[in-house]
Copies of this chain bind each other. A is one copy, B any other.
Amino acid sequence: MSEPIRLGIAGLGTVGIGVVKIVQKHADLLAARAGRKVVITAISARNRAKNRDADLSAYEWADDPVDLARRDDVDVVVELIGGDSGPAKALVEAALANGKHVVTANKALLAHHGQALAEAAEEAGLSLRFEAAVAGGIPVIKALTEGLSGNVMRRVSGVMNGTCNYILTRMESAGLPYEVVFDEADKLGFLEADPNLDVGGIDAAHKLTLLAAIAFGTRPNFDAVMIEGIERISIDDIRHAADLGLRIKLLGVAQMTGRGLEQSMTPCLVPVDSPLGQLMGGTNMVVLEGDSVGQIVLRGAGAGEGPTASAVMGDVMDIARGLRLPVFGQPAKQLIDAPAGRTTAAKAWYLRMSLMDRPGALAKVAGALGEAGVSIDRMRQYGHEDTSAPVLIITHKTTRDAIDHAIALFGHTGVVTGEPVALAIEAG
């Protein structure tokens, strides 16, 4: 048996403690599987005094996480601090500069700085792995980078933020408005410190950025993701969707189009009885489509102590077993800089807007749609008690460009109040 592999863990929240528990509880099993012992030598967190659900007395303590990167008794730095700058970034950079492998759950850091960090890791011959950064316990990075490495990938899509899916599911099941369920989720500790990362779609977009880089051999380009959050989804949208046999999901899609790399993270409608439509609560689902393999669907818990710690340990075990791979599946210096593309695929759209209650208002909206080349499948005006009427339109299949054009034209009608909600209807 080889020398033990020694971990330095920075960040002792639920995931960090989950990793500690696995290393302690399954020491023999991990050693049998890795061919060497997996041990923790040093740890770091913001607050040493905090009471934690694990015995940490055997580990060296570092007040400054970056100290872990400088220790001779650490082979792998496990970064579970989070955030795209500050100590997390400093620690990962220092680890790679000091010859330490890195395992991280930090999607924000990699979505923003993945290119530079991958180049640094590869130049030093080190592993930088991030299974826990995407879709919790689902081994999707491994499936895409390794299992499907014989494929030209066509499309990667999925629901990758459990908090958004929890909020949308709970709004429907309890019939509660967005604001009430948001507060519930906050009290349950489901939201990031900056909740906009979750409900604004940013966290999910970070994840999509990483999947797209691997799938299409492109430099991670978070800024090119078209992002819409779920903040403007009303209980009425949920109900209208249900009437149509549809459900609202925050859906990420990445695909290479003739115009470049399309990356979008937006609320969409999917059939209630489709695999995505049936995805309830905090569960994640990722769909990988390759030219040989066809469609592979992966489902599992998207967050939580156990699932995320499981993903971290998968990476640790790979490093312990000697696996060395380029960070994004091929050398970072060879990744291409793809232009941001938008799909020209035609879809049916759901439009919900408020219309001023005056004669000819509906005709003006219909006219704007016609001018943009969007034809109407169904339209419904709801009863109302104030001066503006809720109007729901389902279009025939049309492009996102045409919908955006129509929405711009609505602004000139003088009868549409507020910003319309526009949701693509996907196959699910």
Q: Given that A33-B149, A33-B329, A317-B149 are known contacts, is A301 also in contact with B294, CB under 8 Å in the complex?
A: yes
Which of B34, B217, B297, B330 meets A299, CB within 8 Å?
Answer: B297
- CB-CB contacts below 8 Å: A165-195 with B: none
Question: Which of chain B's residues have a CB closer than 8 A to the CB of A311?
Answer: 147, 293
Q: Is A56 an interface residue (CB 8 A)?
A: no
| From A22, A273, A310, residue with most partner B Cβ within 10 Å | A310
**Bound Cα distance from A324 to B301, whole angstroms:** 29
Q: Is A292 an interface residue (CB 8 A)?
A: yes
Which of B22, B292, B321 meets A150, CB within 8 Å?
Answer: B22
- Chain B residue with Cβ nearest A26: B152
Which of B301, B322, B325 meets A293, CB within 8 Å?
Answer: B301
Q: Is A387 an interface residue (CB 8 A)?
A: no
- Chain B residue with Cβ nearest A290: B310
In the complex, are the beta carbons of A131 and B152 less than 8 A apart?
A: no
- What's the least CB distance linking A245 to chain B, in Å? 14
- Chain B residue with Cβ nearest A321: B325
- Chain B residue with Cβ nearest A301: B294
Q: Is A98 an interface residue (CB 8 A)?
A: no
Q: Is A85 an interface residue (CB 8 A)?
A: no
Q: Is A32 an interface residue (CB 8 A)?
A: yes
**Bound Cα distance from A293 to B283, whole angstroms:** 12
Question: Which of chain B's residues have a CB closer than 8 A to the CB of A267?
Answer: none
Question: Which of chain B's residues have a CB closer than 8 A to the CB of A318?
Answer: 146
A interface residue numbers (CB < 8 A to B): 18, 22, 26, 29-30, 32-35, 131, 137-139, 142-143, 146-152, 217, 273, 275, 278, 290-301, 304, 306-307, 309-314, 316-318, 321-326, 329-331, 334
Q: Given A18-B292, A32-B334, list of 14 further CB < 8 A pairs? A: A26-B152, A32-B330, A35-B326, A137-B292, A139-B142, A139-B296, A146-B318, A273-B278, A290-B310, A291-B306, A292-B306, A293-B300, A293-B301, A296-B300
Query: Can you list 14 A-B pairs, Cβ within 8 angstroms, ordered by A?
Result: A22-B150, A26-B152, A137-B294, A139-B143, A146-B321, A150-B309, A150-B317, A275-B275, A294-B306, A297-B300, A298-B298, A321-B324, A322-B322, A323-B323
